[in-house]
Amino acid sequence: MDPLIGRRVGYVRPQGHVGDALIELAMTQLFAEFGIRWLPLDLDEPAEVEVIVFGGGGSMGRRSDHNHALRTRALSLGLPVVILPQSFTDREDRSFTQVFVRERASLDLRSDGVLAPDLALGLAWPAAGPPVQDLGILMRRDHERTGRRLQLARDPVALCTTPAETLALAARYQRIITDRLHFAIAGLHAGREVTLLPNNYHKNRSMHETWLAGLGCRFAESVEAALLRQAAARRAVGPRVAA
């Protein structure tokens, strides 16, 4: 946080969904912890700030044209621009003051990046109650989906509009299988058994290898593979004997 402490910070919100809102909530907690003074920055009528931060997520590169354009406008103000932990879909070799990269595969696309965890991993949130359902299979339905579309699998982004709703939905299940990175993270916050599946670029796999495996998250190539692994694990444990 050294580039931001003691300075007037303008925050540029990336275009995204409720997973990005989870990151933003964690960012507000982080900034409060370090006493960072910040405000949302309107790039059409920018306030007087000393440094700009661009929110975390997975939009670096040209794949998200809207967010690429937002960063262009931020750079045009001539102020230092700090990128909070992001994934890269392709190279974006522009003169940012500091770039935090949230997983190792993206470091290959930004050699001067600093590895830092996705901010949602540091979210402070009350402990979840007991689950009310055994298994939740919640899958994305957008361009990042891989494999066949499961008709009965719901997308957390369609079910939740706030971070609180996302965390509450994840807490409902004892076991979660998902290809939504931040729904997987919500499940880890709730202390659930989480299996993350791949998306259509390196983000999920690299996040798992870099951070999530060490937090107890599993990884599988498909829903079917995840279910087979869970069934094998249950057979290995055997039936529970009542005390």
Query: pLDDT of 76-103, one tens digit each?
Result: 999 999 999 999 999 999 999 999 999 9
Helices 163-171 & 181-189 angle (0-180, nearest 10): 70
Please report the pLDDT score of residue 234 as a whole number: 78
Please report the pLDDT score of residue 243 as a whole number: 39
Res. 147: pLDDT tops 90: no
Closest CA to 12 of 40, 45, 49, 46: 40
d(Cα 122, Cα 27) in Å, to the nearest integer?
9
Burial class (CB in 10 A: 0-12, 13-18, 19+), 243: exposed
pTM of this structure: 0.94
Q: Which contiguous run of DSSP H or E holds residue 191?
A: none
Q: pLDDT per residue over 156-191, tens digit each?
A: 999 999 999 999 999 999 999 999 999 999 999 999
Helices 18-34 & 163-171 angle (0-180, nearest 10): 110
Average pLDDT over residues 110-115: 96
Closest CA to 93 of 113, 77, 73: 113
Round the CA-based radius of gyration of the chain to a whole number and report it: 19
Res. 135: pLDDT tops 60: yes
Q: pLDDT per residue over 32-41, tens digit each?
A: 999 999 999 9
